[in-house]
Amino acid sequence: MSNASPTRAAAVAEEAESEQSSGRLFVTFTVGEEVFAVDMAPVQEIIRVPETVRIPLAPAALDGLANLRGQVLPIISLARLFGFPERPLDDSSRAVVIDLGQPLGFVVDHVASVIEVEPERIDSAETVSSMAHSDVLAGLLKDVGGHPMIMLLDFARLVAREFSEIDQSVKAFASHALGGEREAEAEDEADADELQLVSFEVAGQEYAIAIDQVQEIVQVPEQIACIPQAARYVLGVMTLRNRLLPLVSLRTLFGLHGQAASERSRIVVVTNQGLAVGLVMDSVNEVLRVPREVVDPVPPLLARSGELTDITHICRLDQGKRLVSIIEAGNLFDHSVIKEAMQSMERAADETQVEDSLHDDEHDDEEQVVVFRLGAEEFGVPIASVQEIVRIPDELTHVPKAPAFVEGVINLRGSVLPVIDQRRRLGLADLERNDRQRIMVFLLGEIRTGFIVDAVSEVLKLPKHLIEPAPRLSAQQARLIARVANLEQQRRMILLIEPKRLLDDGDLDLLGGLDDA
């Protein structure tokens, strides 16, 4: 997301003020066929219209959220707000950033100029009191800038009328510390009789690692730094939040032919006794929650001693039709290949060891989230809130008289799981089913509920200083999406969802009746 440079309007204002003129400064702009003006005082800057992240459940006039030099900036279409025909953005389009306690960007078709207007050419709002929408007009400018009449907008009234939720947040903005609005909640512990695993594929075979041994899951970077004289298992090192991470190919480690990384490839970062290594997988499938009764030790006849004891258990899913080999991360770190990778990384890091130590304290305060996609937007939920992630079955059972937002129900290990299409729930366009979609399972109240998402992309640790309150755009949006992670350097903005707000209490009551359907 690119950051735009401030306009010269502020410089023009300073120059005009230095002349001690009795006139007032205004910025004039066009929306459709109409010319408007705004007092110079609240105009923070004028920028090219930036890329935006669309936010669900927001007012229709909101284009989305943009990144303005590290600050989250709501972008609002004035044409849509006024009911004017919209025209495509072009080189003339601008966003006028108005600072009302919380900066807001208003998209206009063209910024004409900064003009100085004498008091006698300014009529009060009473002059236009009989006009439609006159409550958002501060008055009229007469015979200025080559126009017989220019409407003077009062953006404070405009926000108060059209965006009451933003208005409330603007009034309260100064009293809230960033990130201080979220109350800490105790998370339910995993059932002692179950294992929670992250499953992945290598050369068509399915493997898994216990989720408590997985630090995070990240995409394969475009460039990986090679380590001279490293073993062929070691792909190289990457930088992960200012630290070097050695990368090992599981394909090569398991004696399989190598394969170039694809868009589905992922790096699973596993940890053991303070050490971390990145395991390159063909793809990450899902988060599994499996009963211990379907997990068996590797048969003694097949278990091998020495360095090939990575696989310790096998779980039997789908009545034994699906076998998943469980890798013990601790055993991996005893493997000579992993040891060599760690040693190679240490050699490569010798020159920067002192510098890295200075950043140790920067990562103590982090949140771990599961990132998923709906369309082009990224959303995140706390990893502890995700019960499991499963594929969408070929068919869902549709329950008569079920709530409209329920896509159907599935049988998940003997339990009825209501499934909700998250796109439909958030008012987004429907998407044809595909193999990248997943069902994310949450425990809402006492009811396990699945939500269909377009894709589950990765697990991230987010430094808390990058997380701030989301602009309050509507009551429903503020309830569900209260915070946003602004990753400026990565040009990403992740909307953080509060899982307990995914459904209202009334909706949960309706879902509770599906167990008897």
CATH class name, domain 366-516: mainly beta
Helix 155-162 crosses helix 164-172 at what angle (to 10 degrees)?
120
pLDDT(307) > 50? no
* Domain boundaries 194-357, corresponding CATH code: 2.40.50.180
What pLDDT score does 224 carry? 82
What pLDDT score does 93 carry? 93
pLDDT(49) > 90? yes
Question: What does the pLDDT look like over 117-147, one tens digit per residue?
Answer: 888 888 876 655 444 445 678 888 888 878 8
CB 151, CB 36: distance < 8 Å? yes
pLDDT(332) > 60? yes
Q: CB neighbours of 494 closer than 8 A, spacing ≥ 6?
A: 369, 371, 378, 379, 380, 460, 462, 484, 485, 487
- Residue 220 neighbours by CB distance under 10 Å: 19
CB 212, CB 163: distance < 8 Å? no
What is the location of CATH 2.40.50.180 in the chain? 9-175, 194-357, 366-516
How far apart (Å, rounded) are the C-alpha atoms in residues 157 and 84?
19
Assigned superfamily of 9-175: CheA-289, Domain 4 (2.40.50.180)
Question: What does the pLDDT look like over 197-232, one tens digit per residue?
Answer: 888 888 888 999 988 888 888 888 877 877 666 667
